Structure 1
């Protein structure tokens, strides 16, 4: 069974993607930013990362998963110098879970106000 989870963002249908997809016991959360409609939560990377992790958590919950099921995260920064602040936010959620993670600097995200984007993969075993 394939479960599609939508954030309600208008561009999901335009681009043709879902916030998250669950197939069997695997949940994939698409690239997530701190943008909610026209609003972006936070002017700094730490605050944006905190909002992103909240949104990822909501998507997992809707798919019947939780942070404890996360096995992989991918973090994209527009400035690699923000790695400590974003790493701190990531660690506040995942310090005990310790998923495999990648952090990369990218040239830009879809809106110049965005500093961070994250993806996550969960496998539900319980």
Structure 2
């Protein structure tokens, strides 16, 4: 086979490969151009009592995202006990929405006292799988409503 023929075959093969890739890209674009089903907002909380509108939802999903309202621990206890209770409740809420702790993307932690930060972290660490979520931790000037030492809210995917 001459150099000219092998070059020609190389160019033909490259053109065929490029066409196949381009064809796949067009197919993908066409498929995504189809009208997708609109995401739905869904609540996983308790149904309203006496037909009254609830103040807020505990768990809401939109598409494949799930948003959990802040969970506190309203009993006497240590920061470690409160943190464990809050994380356990969040995990239950995530499961009810079809998600898990490993699928959490963003966490907000509110501490009644910033001095509890290190002790809270001893319980918090390791609950999120291999890649922990991004996190913001604050101690609001007015504290947390109720007698909870910690409150946590989050965003995850399903």
Q: Return the TM-score normalized by structure 1.
A: 0.82
CA distance in 1, matches of 2:122, 2:139: 17
Q: Where does structure 2 lack aligned partners over 5 or more consecutive residues?
A: 1-39
Unaligned stretches of 5+ residues in structure 1: none
Residue 109 of structure 1: SS of its match in structure 2? coil
Give the 3-state SS of the residue equivalent to 2:77 in structure 1.
coil
Inter-partner Cα distance in structure 1 for 2:123 and 2:47: 25
**How large is the Cα RMSD of the aligned pairs?**
2.1
- Counterpart-to-counterpart distance in 2, 1:53 and 1:8: 23
* C-alpha deviation, 1:44, in angstroms: 1.0
Whether 1:29 and 2:68 are equivalent positions in the alignment is yes
Is residue 89 of structure 2 the alignment partner of residue 50 of structure 1? no
Aligned mates of 1:6, 1:34 — CA distance in 2: 18
Q: Partner of 2:84: helix, strand, or coil?
A: helix
Q: Kindly report structure 1 stretches of 4+ aligned residues shifted beyond 3 Å.
A: 7-10
Greater relative contact order (CA < 8 Å, ≥ 6 in sequence): 1
Give yes or no for contact 2:101–2:129 (8 Å, CA) kept in 1: no
Partners of 2:47 and 2:109 in 1: CA distance = 23
Which whole-Å CA distance do the structure 2 matches of 1:7 and 1:44 have between them?
Answer: 28
Q: 1:17 maps to what in 2?
A: 56
Q: Counterpart of 2:9?
A: none
Q: Deviations over 1:67-122 (max 9, x none)?
A: 111011000001101001111211131262311001101122211x2110000110
**Partner of residue 114, structure 2:** 80
| Rg larger for | 2
Measure the CA separation in 2 of the matches of 1:95 and 1:72.
14
SS in 1 for 2:91: helix
Number of residue pairs matched? 116
Decide which structure has greater strand share. Answer: 1
Of Structure 1 and Structure 2, the greater helix share is in 2
